[in-house]
Amino acid sequence: MSVVGAQPFIKPMQSPPSVSPGIQRRHTLPASEVRPLNTQDAISVFEIEREAFISVSGECPLHLDEVRHFLTLCPELSMGWFEEGRLVAFIIGSLWDQDRLTTEALTLHKPCGSTVHIHVLAVHRTFRQQGKGPILMWRYLQYLRCLPNVRRAVLMCEDFLIPFYRKSGFKVLGRCAITVANLTFTEMWYPISGHAYMRRNTGCL
């Protein structure tokens, strides 16, 4: 799956301030950057995820080996928000090829699928309550519109998170067939298809 045309969405969120040639810069890291994740980011991803989910539900959507698994198979379906080189929020997804999620969707990546399964969205505790989660989700959904074979995004969440995802445009699909320990989930979806005009006019094709 080519993502070259989608690169306008994966760039620093703001340009670093100009510096006089006579002034030495202390570092060259952008103040704020959004980019795909890679396996070198896996430990930072898992640390944020573990802190965010274990305290609330007692379960992580992805274990460390599963994080590495998806960042190896489909890094282009991940997105990380970095502040001065530090990961502060992320999304990890993979492709799925069925109408509804099943247990296999938790670990499989289906390269020929047209549905992006969003496994996890998490924000570092220091950066919560700043709107970073919704902003990153918005950027991620815009990015998915640049992938010509993607038709929709799906996720499963606990009921208390339904209002959060509804604000991002997701709709309830129904009860999810997947259970984890004693947890049950609602499946939600977001339409990606029908954006041919947008693809033509953003250099995505």
Residues marked active site are found at: 94, 108, 119, 121, 165
Pinpoint the alpha helices (H) of the chain: 42-54, 64-73, 132-144, 162-167, 196-200
Alpha-carbon separation of residue 123 from 49, 50, 83 (angstroms): 8, 11, 12
Q: In this structure, is the dihedral angle defined by the CA atoms of residues 144, 145, 148 and 153, taken in order, positive or negative?
A: positive
**Taking the CB of residue 51, how many other CB atoms lie within 10 A of it?**
14
Look at residues 139, 138, 136, 118 and name the one whose alpha carbon lies nearest to residue 127: 136
CA pair distance 21, 13, nearest whole angstrom = 24
Alpha-carbon distance 71 to 80, whole Å? 12
Structure tokens at 46: 């898992």
Report which residue type is found at 55.
S
